[in-house]
Amino acid sequence: MSPAGDFSKALLRWYDAEKRDLPWRRNNDFYPVWISEIMLQQTRVEAVTPYFLRFMGLFPDVRALAAAEESTVLAAWSGLGYYSRARNLHRAAKAIAAGGEPSDFESIRALAGVGDYTAAAVASIALGDARAAVDGNVMRVISRLANDAADIRAGETRRRFAGQAARLVDRRRPGDFNQAMMELGATVCTPKAPDCGKCPVERFCGARAAGTAAQLPVKLGGKPAREVALDVAVLARDGRVFLVERAASERRLAGFRELPGKKDVKGARFRAAGEFTHQIVNDRFRVRVWVAGTPAGLPAGEWISPSELGDLPVTTTAKKALRIAGLL
């Protein structure tokens, strides 16, 4: 057996025994695999699990998703972040309902919101396509296995690591292999504290032998987060809260309901209720929450009861602020 064969055998034996019982692993049909892979983009398994279960309950197949209103899909996604994923998912569901389920990597890759990684993951799991799915987790594992200190942000390094992953992928069980690599990166070969003593592929690992695991991968020149101060107003009347709708032209979260800015509420007496930080991509928002009585002037918006909030797309920032103000 080749070294790659020995490697995948050891990895898959561990995966078969230790893999987490996740709801999208219960069948390999295209629809649940695709939904889960879109949800898992930039989002942790623990956060995705309840959303996946609720989403599948609301939209059990691609036709149900295609037939839903966009606002219903966004409401089901509300709190998971990166909302362009939900809009693209909805667009892609309509395309699939009209033209049929994709049958190979290229047709999956052509769906809205699907990049190389997601297409490879879905094609390998749902269609058995022997293709490596290489995300940040897998890059980290490869950099350690190869004990390679090249900058992981460089295109040349990423191409080299992707080539190494492609040589390792198990041809008979590519979907399980890819999930095992991700599982290894998420649970054992973690960014800050790789647990090499529990690693099923320890004997293949260059960084383990060299004692360099904790220093890899090397990432150079990261952009620092931009700090953004935000003052939001929580206004309550007759058990309802006042929310405004983000304009359709907004780059992020268009159409979502959010709290008005403090500066847009005129003639109110404010008291500070608390503050929190919230990161969206490279912006770190420091949000101060202000509660006020009846103001003299309000921007365009509407009064909404807490029971209606679950049916509307509401920003995570607004939900956090309403919780701080004791209204959610």
**Count of other CB atoms within 10 angstroms of residue 100:** 10
Kindly state whether residue 207 participates in binding ligand SF4, applying the rule CB under 6 A: yes
Q: What's the CA gap between 246 and 182, in Å, rounded?
A: 36
203 vs 286, beta carbon nearer ligand SF4: 203
Kindly state whether residue 139 participates in binding ligand SF4, applying the rule CB under 6 A: no
**Binding range to ligand SF4, per CB under 6 A, among 14-22, 46-54, 114-122, 141-149:** 141-149
**Binding range to ligand SF4, per CB under 6 A, among 113-121, 203-211, 258-266, 299-307:** 203-211
Q: Which of 128, 61, 141 is nearest to 96 (CA)?
A: 61
Q: What does the block give as tokens for 139? A: 């890059």
The CB-of-52 to ligand SF4 minimum distance in angstroms stands at 27
C-alpha 6 chain-centroid distance: 32
The CB-of-164 to ligand SF4 minimum distance in angstroms stands at 13
Q: Is 308 a catalytic residue?
A: no
State phi, psi for 156 to the nearest 5 degrees: -65, -40
Among 202, 264, 275, 308, interactor with ligand SF4 by CB under 6 A: 202
184 vs 314, beta carbon nearer ligand SF4: 184
Contact 89, 82 (CB under 8 A): no
The CB-of-178 to ligand SF4 minimum distance in angstroms stands at 16
- Contacts with ligand SF4: how many residues (CB under 6 A)? 15
Q: Which of 278, 284, 281, 282 is nearest to 318 (CA)?
A: 278
Q: What's the CA gap between 84 and 67, in Å, rounded?
A: 18
Among 189, 259, 292, 327, interactor with ligand SF4 by CB under 6 A: 189
Q: Which of 136, 121, 128, 119 is nearest to 189 (CA)?
A: 136
Positions touching ligand SF4 (CB under 6 A) are 141, 144-145, 188-189, 194-196, 199, 201-202, 205, 207-208, 213
Kindly list the catalytic residues: 37
